[in-house]
Amino acid sequence: MGRLAVLACLLVACSPSTGESTDAPPAQGSDAGVDPNDGAKSGARLKLTWYQFTDGTRQFSGMYDSQNKETCSPYYSQFTDGKTYCVPQVGGEAVYTSSTCTNKVLHYYIDSVCPQEPAKYFLDYATVGCQSHPARIYLRGAQLANTTYYYKSSTGTCSTGYAPQSYDAFYALGTEVPKSDLVDLTLSAPEGSGRVGVRFYESADGMRFPWMLHDAMLDADCSASYYSDSSSAARCTPNDARYSYLAHDATCSQPELALANTCTKPAYAYTFPDTSCPDDSETYYAVGAQIASTPLYYPNGGTCTSQAASANTNYYALGAPIAPAPLTYAADTGTEHRVQLIHYTSPEGTRFRDPYKLYDAEKGTPCYPETLPDGTIRCVAYGDYIDTYYTSSACTTPIDVVQVYKGPATCSAPVVPKYARKDIAPAPGTCQYGTEVHQITTPHSGTVYTGIPGSCDPVTPYESVMYNVGPAVPLTDFVAAAQAMDN
- Residue-averaged pLDDT of the chain: 90
Q: Is the pLDDT of residue 383 over 80?
A: yes
Asked whether the predicted pLDDT for residue 237 surpasses 60, the reply is: yes
Q: Helix or strand or coil: residue 272?
A: coil
Apex 51 CA angle, 45 and 55, nearest 5? 135
**Range with the lowest mean pLDDT among 155-159, 241-245, 312-316?**
155-159
**What Cα–Cα distance (Å) separates residue 189 from each residue in 238, 325, 386?**
16, 18, 44
- Percent of the chain exceeding pLDDT 70 equals 93
Closest CA to 31 of 336, 325, 327, 329: 336
Reported as a pLDDT band with limits 50, 70 and 90, residue 33 is low
Q: Of 58, 37, 65, 87, whose CA–CA distance to 198 is shortest?
A: 37
Least confident of 32-36, 302-306, 482-486: 32-36
pLDDT digits (tens, 9 = 90+) for 93-125: 999 999 999 999 999 999 877 788 999 999 999
Q: Is the pLDDT of residue 19 over 90?
A: no
Residue (of 305, 175, 281, 304) closest to 228 by Cα position: 281
Nearest one of 154, 49, 152 to 96, comparing CA atoms: 152
The pLDDT > 90 percentage for the chain reads 77
What is the Cα Rg of the chain in Å?
25
Question: What's the order of all strands across the beta sheet hosting 93-96?
Answer: 93-96, 104-109, 168-176, 131-144, 121-128
Comparing C-alpha atoms, which of 272, 283, 341 is closest to residue 36?
A: 341
Amino acid at 444: H
Report how far Cα 458 is from the mean position of its chain's Cα atoms: 33
Cα 300–chain centre separation: 29
Q: Among 36-50, 82-96, 296-310, 383-397, whose mean pLDDT is lowest? A: 296-310
Give the H/E segment covering residue 221. Answer: strand 220-226
In this prediction, residue 27 has a pLDDT band, given cuts at 50, 70 and 90, of: very low
Across the range 168-190, mean pLDDT stands at 97
CB 331 within 8 A of CB 353: no
pLDDT in tens, 428-452: 777 788 899 999 999 999 999 999 9
- How large is the average pLDDT for residues 258-263? 94
pLDDT at residue 31, as a whole number: 45
pLDDT of 6 reads 37
Does the bond joining 295 to the residue before it have cis omega, within 30 degrees of 0?
A: yes
Residue 487 has pLDDT above 90, yes or no: no
Bridge partners of 398?
390
Q: Identify the pLDDT of residue 229.
A: 80
* pLDDT score, position 63: 97
- Can you tell me the distance from the alpha carbon of 464 to that of 486, in angstroms, rounded to the nearest whole number? 45
